[in-house]
């Protein structure tokens, strides 16, 4: 068995001039991994009439999945690759920032540190251009679009529908604040930022959630949200297929089951 010409060329495109030491220590493994990840996966069959997702979408999904599964070493390797394929530093930063709402700072901090180190090594001046569109000092008067809560609720409505208009007020007295925080913090602080479109933000959220495992109820909600903003079943299946080499089969199959369930419910 040998590494295919296509896999060799794709690996060279990803890692120009780099020769993996695993070719010496683990040649059989590298043959199998590279031929699958960098050839077979990239030639997956698509449903009739479906276009392949872009390189930018593919690599944003891979970065989000690696954060979700805590693959810090592979993340370090893939950030420069993502940039080679057109993902901008701002997009990468936004993927990392938004992950805090879904994984917490304890799990995201190493990834933020890694991105800063990579960008600084490339001579990119930090901090990057600000992307915030809300004002932490703006009061929640119910109408001011600079209010984190108001803007966050609008993002929830845009993704999930009009049923989210009053969601921030819902719930028992002792836990209603969490639904408010979902509006002003999760959506108001992150989804309202520049750098990523709403559809891209909802896609990377899908990736954080399925890569964690054990969050299928939330995954179902965000699968429906993805459908609503234009990331249809075909797009999500391509995303999880491209990410299989980075996340493995069990969580991929769980995500596929959720995608199919949501699609069937909406049909």
pLDDT cut 70: percent of the chain above it: 100
Average pLDDT score, the chain: 97
Output the pTM of the full model: 0.97
pLDDT grade for 11, boundaries at 50, 70 and 90: very high
Angle between helices 216-228 and 148-160 (to 10 degrees): 80
pLDDT digit string, tens, across residues 46-101: 988 899 999 999 999 999 999 999 999 999 999 999 999 999 999 999 999 999 99
Q: Residues near 62 by Cβ (< 8 Å), separated by ≥ 6?
A: 78, 82, 242, 243, 246
Task: Tell me: pLDDT of 254 over 90.
Answer: yes
Q: How far apart are the first and last CA of the chain?
A: 45
pLDDT digit string, tens, across residues 192-231: 999 999 999 999 999 999 999 999 999 999 999 999 999 9
pLDDT grade for 1, boundaries at 50, 70 and 90: low
Mean pLDDT of 122-138: 96
Q: How is the chain split into domains, by residue range? A: 1-40, 53-130+194-266, 148-187
Task: Tell me: pLDDT of 180 over 70.
Answer: yes
pLDDT grade for 235, boundaries at 50, 70 and 90: very high
* CATH T-level topology, domain 53-130+194-266: AhpD-like (1.20.1290)
CB 202 within 8 A of CB 229: yes
- Residue 142, sorted as left (phi over 0), alpha (psi -120 to 50) or beta, turns out to be left
Task: Tell me: pLDDT of 258 over 70.
Answer: yes
Q: Residues near 241 by Cβ (< 8 Å), separated by ≥ 6?
A: 41, 44, 252
């Amino acid at each position: 068995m040998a590494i295919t010409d296509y896999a060799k060329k794709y690996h060279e495109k990803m890692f120009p001039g780099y020769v993996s030491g695993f070719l010496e220590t683990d040649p059989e493994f590298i043959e199998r991994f590279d031929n699958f990840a960098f050839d077979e996966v990239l030639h997956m069959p698509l449903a009739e009439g479906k276009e392949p997702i872009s390189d930018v979408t593919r690599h944003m999904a891979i970065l989000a999945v690696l954060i979700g599964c805590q693959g810090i070493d592979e993340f370090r390797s893939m950030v420069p690759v993502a940039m080679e394929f057109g993902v901008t530093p701002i997009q990468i930063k936004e993927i990392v920032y938004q992950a805090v709402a879904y994984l917490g700072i304890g799990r995201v901090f190493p990834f933020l540190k890694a991105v800063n180190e990579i960008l600084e090594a490339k001579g990119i001046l930090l901090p990057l251009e600000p992307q915030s569109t809300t004002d932490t000092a703006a009061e929640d008067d119910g109408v001011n679009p600079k209010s984190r809560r108001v803007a966050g609720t609008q993002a929830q409505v845009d993704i999930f529908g009009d049923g989210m208009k009053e969601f921030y007020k819902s719930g028992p007295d002792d836990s209603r604040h969490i639904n408010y925080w979902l509006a002003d913090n999760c959506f108001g602080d992150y989804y309202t930022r520049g750098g990523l479109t709403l559809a891209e933000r909802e896609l990377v959220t899908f990736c954080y959630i399925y890569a964690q495992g054990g969050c299928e109820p939330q995954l179902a909600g965000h699968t429906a949200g993805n459908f609503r903003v234009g990331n249809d079943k075909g797009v999500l299946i391509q995303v999880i297929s491209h990410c299989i080499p980075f996340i493995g089969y069990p969580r991929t199959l769980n995500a596929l089951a959720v995608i199919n369930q949501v699609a069937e419910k909406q049909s």
